Structure 1
Amino acid sequence: MTDRLSGSDFFHVEHVESLSSLRLRKQPVDIVMAEIHADQADSLMLPCWVGELNASGRLRRVPHIVWTVKNGAPDNAISLVAGIEHGRMDMINGISSTALASHASLTRASGIRVEIVAENHPTQLLRVLEKLACTEHPAPFLSQPDKLELLLSEDEVVSAMATGDGLRVVLQPQYDLASRRVVGAEALIRWRHPHHGDIPLSILIPMVDQLGLDLLLFSYIEKTVIEILGTLDRLGIDIPIAINASARTLCAAGLATRLAAKMHKAGLPTRLLKIELTEQMTPDNELALSASIMALRAKGFLISLGDFGAGAATLALLAHIPFDEMKIDEKSVRAAGQSPQSSEIISGIVSLARFFNLNLVTGGIEDPASIELLNRMGCSTGQGFALAHPLEQDDFLNLVAR
């Protein structure tokens, strides 16, 4: 097979013995072929290595990957792929087919195109290679520091947080999935830079945290949300609005007392201001976080555990600290219905919420079919683009007023 490829005008082929010999950093490579075998760990590690190089900004091109199965594969490559992905084959060259299918799925989810073909079906293999050769490659990753340096300076971020210039709060409605009634909202920050336009949160929030400006940003959002809650109260609308906060923000001295005083001054019950703990910063002191959350709950604030399912940290926090609500991670929601395992994970989270007597919010609902599926699975409240995009304040008030 390699002789056929080497003799083709369509391909320039190079052979390497290991990952360390693969020169992806120095020259662009379209496709990397690797035989899948239990004795060849490099082939399974290949997507990880490509992903790490890409994350560090050291790739000129993100290559496609082709895993080949040489021994024990069926004659038809299409039946091989179907057999792996639908669980009709137990082992492939000493590797669990279920594990291989999951590994391939994770590879594709990371943005790397991967195909599995039988090497003893040369026509099909050549067809796959020719198709991949004509398939667009993902853009190489520009590392976070490079993005920040290109987009904005630290002084600009400090100035925006201190003055509020260019900052605004938008609201992501939360719906009862059965009745499609708005039952809450999540407050999200936006910053419109005078030259670069709206700055992505993936750039803004890490920089705010690095500069120690998280409490300043929280204060801006909190002030705006209390004003919105006051407007809703005058309209006779009683729904909570959630504000995202890192563990470090929640552990700020006197936060519970200060927030409660502001809510009382506005004539609002504290239960209408919900605090959603994000997982972007791991708490340095879990004991301090526990005390802070208990102080907030004692004042009547609702505390939500955000991004549940995104990592082990959320499960550990749930085991040690009392919450009022948990919010399912968006990636878990998007995977629901795509495989039995993903649906079982959602069902398990629903059961966990019931066991701990927690309200459950489902984030990241992006298609209408997921609304019905999640509702049937017991997820009563949700948000996402399939229901509504984040709305400007006036648009949100008009929506709930209707």
Structure 2
Amino acid sequence: MTERLSGSDLFHIEHVESLSNLRLRKQPVDIVMAEIHADQADSLMLPCWVSELNASDRLRRAPHIVWTIQTSTPDNAISLVAGIEHDRMDTINDIPSAALESHASLTRASGIQVEIVAENHPDQLLRVLEKLASTEHSDPILLQSKKLELLLSEDDVVSVVTTGDDLRVMLQPQYDLANHRVVGAEALIRWRHPLHGDIPLSILIPMVDKLGLDLLLFSYIEKTVIEILGILDRQNIDIPIAINASARTLCAAGLATRLAAKMHKAGLPTRRLKIELTEQMTPDNELALSASIMTLRAKGFLISLGDFAAGAATLALLAHIPFDEMKIDGKLVRAAGQSPQSSEIISGIVSLASLFNLNLVTGGIEDRSSIELLNRLGCSTGQGFALAHPLEQDEFLNLVAR
């Protein structure tokens, strides 16, 4: 096989004995080929190492990875690459095939292209290598977001949250997956910096929390959402809109009373304003969080547990604190079409929601096939790019009016 590759104009080949001898930082490498075996941990760790270098901006480009296996029936390897019928082989070189395919899916999700091929099937291996040779490499992850984080100052964040200038609230519609009817929405904050453009939430929210501005930002969003709910009410449209809040925000003194007074002043039932608890910050005092949520629920507000399955803390909260709704984490949804285990977990969450008498919303639906799959699994309500992107306020109001 090496002779065939060496004779091709596409490849210049170098051999290394171990991962420690692979010098990706010193020279760009297009493809790394490694044999997969239970006794060779380097091969399985290779994506982790590449991902770490890529995230720290120490690579000019992330190489593609080819895992090779030895098999007496090469067709099995072809099925494994295609992601179908690979259960015909329970293990691949002493590694459970389902676990290997799951590891490959996680690798691809991190932005690194990986393929699994049979080394003793030269034609298949050559086809895969030629395909990868013409596939673009992912850029280092650090570039845009880290640059923004370094350019923004705390004064920028304080100014935008206190004045509201350059902030706007967008609405992500939530749909009944069976009939494609809008049944709710999630309010999302957006910040367009005059110099740096749109600032990702992954930068804005941690800085807001660090500076203790979370309640002030929540108040800005809440005011806008109540205005939108008022417009919907005048059009006889009865759907809830969710606002994200950290545990610290929910535990703010007098929050429930203040929100209820504003809703009553606007002539709106409190059930139309939904509060979605995010897992950005672990509550310092679970007892205080429980009391705050119970007070909000007593005043008629709906409380949703966001990003369910994103971490163990959400399950612990569900065990101790009553909620009205939980939202399935988008990462689990995106994995459902590729991993039988993810689909089974979603199925289990559907049963859990039914057991606790909770409404269930599925987030992160990004392709049409996921809608059909989620319907089969029993998920009735969802949101995501496959249904609708976040909309400006006028666009959202026109959508629900239609």
For the criterion TM > 0.5, the same-fold answer is: yes
State how far apart, in whole Å, the 2-side matches of 1:393 and 1:7 are: 60
- Relative to structure 1, the CA distance from residue 358 to residue 91 in structure 2 (aligned partners, 3 Å threshold; closer, same or farther) is same
Q: Which residue identity is paired with 2:262?
A: K
Partner residue of 1:22? 22
Q: Deviations over 1:31-76 (max 9, x none)?
A: 1111111111111111111112222222221011111124xx1353
Q: Which residue identity is paired with 1:385?
A: F
State how far apart, in whole Å, the 2-side matches of 1:68 and 1:147 are: 38
For 1:2-401, list aligned pairs within 5 A: 2=2, 5=5, 9-70=9-70, 73-74=71-72, 76=74, 78-82=75-79, 85=83, 86=85, 87-142=87-142, 146-149=146-149, 152-401=152-401
Q: Deviations over 1:300-347 (max 9, x none)?
A: 211101111222222222112211000111122233344433332222
Aligned partner of residue 364 in structure 1, secondary structure: coil
Moved more, 381-390 or 60-69: 381-390
Q: Contact conserved, 2:80 with 2:116, CA < 8 A, in 1?
A: no
State how far apart, in whole Å, the 2-side matches of 1:376 and 1:115 are: 30
**C-alpha deviation, 1:225, in angstroms:** 0.8
Q: Contact conserved, 1:144 with 1:203, CA < 8 A, in 2?
A: no
State how far apart, in whole Å, the 1-side matches of 2:146 and 2:327 are: 32
State how far apart, in whole Å, the 1-side matches of 2:3 and 2:110 are: 32
Q: Contact conserved, 1:332 with 1:342, CA < 8 A, in 2?
A: yes
Q: Contact conserved, 1:365 with 1:383, CA < 8 A, in 2?
A: yes
Moved more, 327-336 or 186-195: 327-336
Q: Contact conserved, 2:6 with 2:12, CA < 8 A, in 1?
A: yes
RMSD: 2.2
Aligned partner of residue 88 in structure 2, secondary structure: coil
- Relative to structure 1, the CA distance from residue 248 to residue 59 in structure 2 (aligned partners, 3 Å threshold; closer, same or farther) is farther
Aligned partner of residue 108 in structure 1, secondary structure: helix
State how far apart, in whole Å, the 2-side matches of 1:332 and 1:91 are: 25
- Relative to structure 1, the CA distance from residue 295 to residue 128 in structure 2 (aligned partners, 3 Å threshold; closer, same or farther) is same
- Relative to structure 1, the CA distance from residue 186 to residue 12 in structure 2 (aligned partners, 3 Å threshold; closer, same or farther) is same
- Relative to structure 1, the CA distance from residue 374 to residue 128 in structure 2 (aligned partners, 3 Å threshold; closer, same or farther) is closer
Q: Contact conserved, 2:334 with 2:365, CA < 8 A, in 1?
A: yes
Q: Which residue identity is paired with 2:297?
A: R
Q: Contact conserved, 2:76 with 2:89, CA < 8 A, in 1?
A: no
What TM-score does the superposition give when structure 2 sets the normalisation length?
Answer: 0.91
Moved more, 258-267 or 238-247: 258-267
Q: Contact conserved, 1:56 with 1:143, CA < 8 A, in 2?
A: no
State how far apart, in whole Å, the 1-side matches of 2:365 and 2:146 are: 31
State how far apart, in whole Å, the 1-side matches of 2:94 and 2:369 are: 38
Q: Percent identity?
A: 85
State how far apart, in whole Å, the 2-side matches of 1:350 and 1:336 are: 14
State how far apart, in whole Å, the 2-side matches of 1:5 and 1:180 are: 52
State how far apart, in whole Å, the 2-side matches of 1:338 and 1:212 are: 40
- Relative to structure 1, the CA distance from residue 144 to residue 249 in structure 2 (aligned partners, 3 Å threshold; closer, same or farther) is farther
Q: Contact conserved, 1:55 with 1:143, CA < 8 A, in 2?
A: no
Aligned partner of residue 346 in structure 1, secondary structure: helix
Q: How many residues align?
A: 399
**C-alpha deviation, 1:174, in angstroms:** 1.5
Q: Contact conserved, 2:360 with 2:380, CA < 8 A, in 1?
A: yes
**C-alpha deviation, 1:359, in angstroms:** 0.5
Q: Contact conserved, 1:75 with 1:121, CA < 8 A, in 2?
A: no
Q: Which residue identity is paired with 1:15?
A: H
Q: Contact conserved, 2:24 with 2:59, CA < 8 A, in 1?
A: yes
State how far apart, in whole Å, the 2-side matches of 1:98 and 1:176 are: 33
Q: Which residue identity is paired with 1:270?
A: T
**C-alpha deviation, 1:356, in angstroms:** 0.4
Q: Contact conserved, 2:149 with 2:203, CA < 8 A, in 1?
A: no
Q: Which residue identity is paired with 2:79?
A: A
5+ long unaligned stretches in structure 1: none
**C-alpha deviation, 1:18, in angstroms:** 2.9
Q: Contact conserved, 1:178 with 1:375, CA < 8 A, in 2?
A: yes
State how far apart, in whole Å, the 1-side matches of 2:294 and 2:263 are: 18
Moved more, 9-18 or 349-358: 9-18
What TM-score does the superposition give when structure 1 sets the normalisation length?
Answer: 0.91
State how far apart, in whole Å, the 2-side matches of 1:107 and 1:237 are: 44
Q: Contact conserved, 1:74 with 1:118, CA < 8 A, in 2?
A: no
Aligned partner of residue 249 in structure 1, secondary structure: helix
Q: Which residue identity is paired with 1:356?
A: F
State how far apart, in whole Å, the 1-side matches of 2:118 and 2:181 are: 51
Aligned partner of residue 186 in structure 2, secondary structure: strand
State how far apart, in whole Å, the 2-side matches of 1:127 and 1:282 are: 49
Q: Deviations over 1:188-209 (max 9, x none)?
A: 1111221233222233223322
5+ long unaligned stretches in structure 2: none
**C-alpha deviation, 1:400, in angstroms:** 2.2
